[in-house]
Chain A
Amino acid sequence: MFITKVTIFPKSMYLFLFVISILNGIIISYYINYIIGLTTFWLQEFWYIYFFQVSFFTLFGATVVPLWFYPKVLLQISNVLPFKYAIFEPVNIYLEKISFHQSIVVIVIQVVWLIILISLSSFIWEKAKKKVIIQGG
């Protein structure tokens, strides 16, 4: 009803860009989950991680409702966070929703986010190493 055009198989150029961006997306989501997981060093439990992970990705990563439905404020917040670069933007490239130049920009932003996330995670890891509590069994 709402979908006017569905791309079953994109042009080879977009497919190539999609593969690169989805690989970046997988690494980005890995590092985000890893950083959320590292908080265990301070809190000693981990059952809450799932809730944070799912809610961050559904709200800011637009895995359930696409971003163009969002009200303006929420859209602006999502645009400055890394979550939408994990799944939403690669899917946009696959569906040819954005132009070739915009796709290149997306991939560049993904790489910038990757650098930020990797350095942040190694910074937290350095802090965490000093914080280890050995539970007695």
Chain B
Amino acid sequence: MAYYPYFPFLFYMGKGQKESDYSGRLIILLYLRFIKLRFQSIIEYRGAFVAGVIAQIFYYAVFFSLIWIMISHFKTMNGWKPMEVMFLYALNLLSYSISACFVFLPFVNLPQLIQSGEFDAVCIKPMNPFLFLVTSNFNVAYLAHFSLSLAVMIFCIIQLKIAINWLTFFLLIIFILGAGLIQASAMLITSIPAFWIIQNTGLQSVFFFELKAFIQYPLSLYNRIIQIFFTFIIPYAFINFYPAQYFLKKNDFLMFHPSFQFLTPFVGLLLFFLAYRFWLLGLKNYQSTGS
């Protein structure tokens, strides 16, 4: 099994790696091919795909409307208007849908792959196993989340009269990508322990899916310990709370510095780097279950 330590940094080739098994052009071609295959397998169950897309749009629309109902009832939530909280949730969901397109299927199913021994097949492919997993499991169904949250975000931007010029547009995209990296790294980090403990569904559902419920609402609602926890220990606040400060012209920096509103992309890159190092560590310790 080849060992690819430098993958996150733009296909940088480390010592002793041949160009032939690592060319960027080849990988992009392969990725397109895999996406085409995924589309073909979805077309096989077209009705289910349509039902799933409707289900997911409905599911998240319900959560948007619940936030709306609740905050409209209480008028404001610690100075945050309903539209602003919707904007928070849209940022969260949009970045989640982008990252989940790529990493949801491979990394939520990683324990199963390891348990069933299918991961052996991933290791013997003549390419970076990380890249193979990500490219062969593109999830088209997240287009539902993506379009819904994009629509809500545009609606919020119009309603809140956020001025969109080239700078804010560029920053919005950078922040969403950074937040996507944070979410992707969180999914990676919570699924990689499966290399040692095989079964980790509980770990992932608690530390990723359940803990993220906190950032549906502005972080300034909670007490200090929780604010510090979501800023430094599990930095989910950088997904939506700090970037939203910039767009909503708020000044809720809790006890931190105002520059925190621009940190999201850096936090994302750092976390993804750490997640990839952790993945390499897990890969080194991988033992086939032999089943």
Contact = CB atoms under 8 A, between A and B. Distances in A.
Interface of A: 39, 42-49, 51-52, 54-55, 58-59, 64-65, 69-71, 74
13 contacts: A43-B47, A43-B48, A44-B48, A46-B48, A47-B52, A52-B55, A52-B59, A55-B55, A55-B62, A58-B66, A59-B66, A69-B70, A70-B69
Contacts of A48: 48, 51-52, 54-56
Chain B contact patch, size range: 20 to 34
A51 B52 contact: yes
Nearest to A2: B74
A137 B234 CA distance: 44
A51 B59 contact: yes
Interface string B55-84: 110110111011001101100000000000
Interface of B: 45, 47-49, 51-52, 54-56, 58-59, 61-63, 65-66, 69-70, 72-73
A95 B52 CA distance: 37
A52 B53 CA distance: 11
Contacts, number: 56
B47 A42 contact: yes
Contacts of A44: 45, 47-48
A51 B58 contact: yes
Contact of B69 (A49, A51, A55, A71): A71
A45 B45 contact: yes
B18 to A, nearest CB: 40
Given A44-B48, A59-B62, A69-B69, 15 more contacts: A43-B48, A43-B51, A44-B47, A46-B48, A48-B54, A52-B59, A54-B59, A55-B55, A55-B59, A55-B62, A58-B66, A59-B66, A64-B66, A70-B69, A71-B72
Contact of A65 (B52, B59, B70): B70
A43 B45 contact: yes
